[in-house]
Amino acid sequence: MSGLLTLGARAMFANQAALQTVGQNIANANTPGYSRQSVVMTTSAGQFTGAGFFGKGVDIETVQRSHNAFLTKEAATSKSTASADATRAEQLSRMEKVFLPGTDGLGYAASQFLNAMVDVTSRPSDPAARQVALGRATELATRFSSAGQQLTDLQSGVVSDLRAGVTVVNQLAQQIATVNDQISRTQGTGHTPNDLLDQRDRLVTQLGEYVAVTTLPADDGSMGVFIGGGQRLVLGNQASTLQVTTDAYDATRARLALDEGGRIRALDESVLTGGSMTALLSFQNNDLQDARNLLGQLAAAIGTRVNDQNALGLDQSNPPGAGAQIFNVAAPRALAAATNLRNPDGSFASGVQATIVDAGQLQAASYKLTSSAPGAYELTRLPDGQPRSVNDGDVIDGFRISFTPAAPSPGESFLIEPVGGAAVEMRRVLDSPNGLAAASPLTAATSVSNAGTLTVDSVYAVKQSFSAGVAPMTLTFGAADPANPTALPYTLTLADGTALSGTWKAGQPIGNQPELGIDLGFELRTNGVPREGDSVTIDPTRYTNTNNGNAKAFLNIQADAFVGRQLLPDGTLTVGTTINDAYAAAMSEVGARVQSATYLSGVSTSVAVDAEASRAGQSGVNLDEEAARLMQFQQSYQAAAKILQTAQSLFDELMRIAQR
């Protein structure tokens, strides 16, 4: 009788436990990270009798969770990658709004400014035309500075997001350490704390959305969590602290560091392979810096080109003088590493300065200068340039390097940004309309006795080396060569009597032909065809109010491919790009990155969804399945209760028999 009661009681308890577990599964069907649990039952050892072994019912061995470590790790890793790709795509989409197309773009503003010089060319003495040109210059500078400020705001947003992310990461790390401690305390019970294990896996997955992690289980049931290629974040019940520190060169940029018991260890971006914080660092150090350089290259090239041309003309001051600067062009920045040697007063013992020599050769890049030995210096174009040896005073990519107050010592380094701040610091600095130098320093006129159809189209200075002392000059054409009738020899007689000879061809400017030995720094352009004996006189300009020579030179800037030229090893200069083409290329570069990042984000998100679905298929709760199990164990419980009821009836009958 007791055996039957024991069988019924054990069966009821086992089915009650199974029902409770099914209820737990149903209650947590929608809980993120929950793993389905099930009761593991085993048959109790039978009792030997003379008639054989009789069963003693069922035992509950444990409650186990349905868990696949591989699928859980894959789901967490793919989610970390998806978070990184989505963050970068979001940041790039914001940056793309800086490079506006059409009439809102920088290229259009530059064209409007140069087109405004057409009216100045037609009416060089008209104050209204000059004021309109200055207004267009203001609009151009404002658009550049606004775009640069938007990039600065994006940088501030990156730092803010990193700080917020670090706070969350530190909280998650501490929670993992706490759960590790709780799990290790249950190690001696022989059973696994399923809910705690689910909680830890969920915390690790959430942590991976901010920074990629690797995990290593320990013998005591705890789990070590590592970031950055093996840097300890959580070990046992101890959690390190992640920090946001300033960049070694630029205090406005951020980097991540790990505080391991008071020891600060900087984390290299290259070893952080996933998570939103890694994407923010990559965006800051690559995409955002490239955008600054693209805008800065264009701003520095346009500003310097316009300023130089204005300086080659004559303004309307009394007496006339060289045109003043129209735009402010920011000087290149040379940022010392925080680890460089310092003087007792805190200033750096050595220094590097960069000055613009040829803005047309400036590249959309940053540079790192390092010193490996006394007198040995290497300059590397970032992010993928080859290092090259440089010395004090060398000119690289349109800027000159100088060491002041002292040359860098071995182990010191500097970050050089020739154009990084050019956009945000661009502004119009010319206030007076009279400062627009529309007049050329030279005035050319054809002789009334000329027999040909030659007329003067324009004459203006093109080089800073130009000197008005070469005028007055006389240009005289000779007899054509019968073998080449389209080319006429000419003689250019300078003020000091020096005679220079050349050959005229249609469309060929005169006065700036270094290959022929004529390097006077000005260009005379003509229309029509001269004849033998025709002459042109070139004199210093006396009446600037009616001269528009230099204003015509401004009109050539828009079609001039002067942006981004490169000096080849053989000494030749490559052809650059025009203003509009350079801006279009910058827009295309940013747009291509946005498109690529958006595509990668979509792919990685799809992979993460599939990985989570695989994990959930293995570990998740299926309500239909649980409902079937609920009915199954309910019936088993009722059957076990029937066993007890039968045993009770037998016991009662036995007691009645015994009472007779």
Local structure of 353: helix, strand or coil: strand
Strands (E), 383-504: 388-390, 395-396, 399-403, 413-417, 442-446, 455-461, 473-477, 488-493, 499-504
**Model confidence at 91: pLDDT above 70:** yes
**Model confidence at 607: pLDDT above 80:** yes
**Are 305 and 275 found together in one domain?**
no
Q: Report how far residue 211's alpha carbon sits from residue 269's, in angstroms, rounded to the nearest whole number.
A: 11
Q: Which two tokens stand for residue 612?
A: 């989570």
Q: How far is CA 533 from CA 42, 353, 474, 489, in A?
A: 120, 55, 12, 11
Number of domains making up the chain: 4
∠391-394-400 over CA atoms, to 5°? Answer: 125
Greater model confidence, 515 or 179: 179
Query: Which of 540, 559, 589 finishes a domain?
Result: 540
Q: CB under 8 Å to 84, separation ≥6 — which residues?
A: 212, 274, 275, 276, 278, 279, 604
**Are 235 and 121 found together in one domain?**
yes
- Which residue type sits at 396? I
> What pLDDT is recorded for position 502?
87
Torsion of CA 160, 165, 166, 168, to 10 degrees: 130
Start-to-end C-alpha separation, the chain: 20
Q: Report how far residue 436's alpha carbon sits from residue 324's, in angstroms, rounded to the nearest whole number.
A: 8
303 falls within a domain: yes
**Model confidence at 288: pLDDT above 80:** yes
Q: Which residue is it, tokens 């775009």?
A: 147
pLDDT band at 2 (very low <50, low <70, confident <90, very high): low
Helices and strands of the chain, counted as H and E runs: 10, 27
Question: What are the φ and ψ backbone dihedral angles of 527, each rounded to 5 degrees?
Answer: -120, 160
7 falls within a domain: yes
**Are 129 and 157 found together in one domain?**
yes
Q: How far is CA 258 from CA 86, 165, 234, 267, in A?
A: 25, 14, 11, 7
> What pLDDT is recorded for position 53?
75
Q: Report how far residue 491's alpha carbon sits from residue 493's, in angstroms, rounded to the nearest whole number.
A: 6
pLDDT band at 265 (very low <50, low <70, confident <90, very high): confident
Instruction: Give the CA diameter of the chain.
Output: 160
What does the DSSP 8-state code read for residue 486?
A: T
389 falls within a domain: yes
**Model confidence at 344: pLDDT above 60:** yes
**Are 242 and 165 found together in one domain?**
yes
Q: What is the pLDDT of residues 27-70, one digit of tens each?
A: 988 888 888 999 998 888 877 777 777 778 888 888 888 888 89
**Are 299 and 279 found together in one domain?**
no
Percent of the chain with pLDDT over 90: 58
**Model confidence at 261: pLDDT above 80:** no
Q: CB under 8 Å to 448, separation ≥6 — which residues?
A: none
**Are 230 and 300 found together in one domain?**
no
**Are 244 and 175 found together in one domain?**
yes
> What pLDDT is recorded for position 610?
94
Concatenating the DSSP letter of every residue in 558-626 gives TT---BT--B-TTSPBPP-B-HHHHHHHHHHHHHHHHHHHHHHHHHHHHHHHHHHHHHHHHHS--HHHH
Q: How far is CA 95 from CA 154, 226, 314, in A?
A: 8, 32, 41
601 falls within a domain: no
**Are 162 and 133 found together in one domain?**
yes
> What pLDDT is recorded for position 43?
86
Q: What is the pLDDT of residues 208-233, one digit of tens each?
A: 999 999 999 998 889 999 998 788 99
Greater model confidence, 375 or 88: 88
Q: What is the pLDDT of residues 325-338, one digit of tens each?
A: 999 999 999 999 99
> What pLDDT is recorded for position 321?
87
Q: Which residue is it, tokens 């293995």?
A: 618
> What pLDDT is recorded for position 416?
95
Query: Domain residues for 398?
Result: 292-321+328-417
> What pLDDT is recorded for position 131?
94
pLDDT band at 151 (very low <50, low <70, confident <90, very high): very high
**Are 279 and 297 found together in one domain?**
no
Q: Report how far residue 373's alpha carbon sits from residue 362's, in angstroms, rounded to the nearest whole number.
A: 28
For residue 227, the cross-strand partners are 213, 231
For residue 142, the surrounding DSSP H or E stretch is helix 127-185
**Are 116 and 233 found together in one domain?**
yes
Torsion of CA 360, 366, 368, 369, to 10 degrees: 20
347 falls within a domain: yes
Q: How far is CA 134 from CA 59, 419, 583, in A?
A: 92, 24, 22
For residue 473, the cross-strand partners are 538
Question: Among candidates 417, 419, 420, 406, which has minimal Cα distance to 368?
Answer: 417
CB 444, CB 536: distance < 8 Å:
yes
Question: Among candidates 349, 334, 329, 328, which has minimal Cα distance to 401?
Answer: 334
Query: Which of 402, 417, 432 finishes a domain?
Result: 417
580 falls within a domain: no
Q: What is the CATH number of the domain that holds 470?
A: 2.60.40
> What pLDDT is recorded for position 204?
94
Q: What is the pLDDT of residues 77-87, one digit of tens each?
A: 999 999 999 99
Mean pLDDT across the chain, nearest whole number?
90
> What pLDDT is recorded for position 336?
94
359 falls within a domain: yes
Q: CB under 8 Å to 401, separation ≥6 — which residues?
A: 352, 353, 354, 369, 379, 390, 392, 393, 394, 395, 416
597 falls within a domain: no
Query: Which of 503, 523, 540 finishes a domain?
Result: 540
**Are 281 and 307 found together in one domain?**
no
Cis before residue 489, ω within 30 degrees of 0? Answer: no
> What pLDDT is recorded for position 132?
94
Q: What percentage of the chain's residues is helix, strand, coil (to nearest 5)?
A: 45, 25, 30
pLDDT band at 617 (very low <50, low <70, confident <90, very high): confident
Q: What is the pLDDT of residues 417-462, one digit of tens each?
A: 999 999 999 999 999 999 999 999 999 999 999 988 999 999 999 8
pLDDT band at 583 (very low <50, low <70, confident <90, very high): very high
pLDDT band at 4 (very low <50, low <70, confident <90, very high): confident
pLDDT average, residue stretch 394-411: 93
**Are 211 and 121 found together in one domain?**
yes
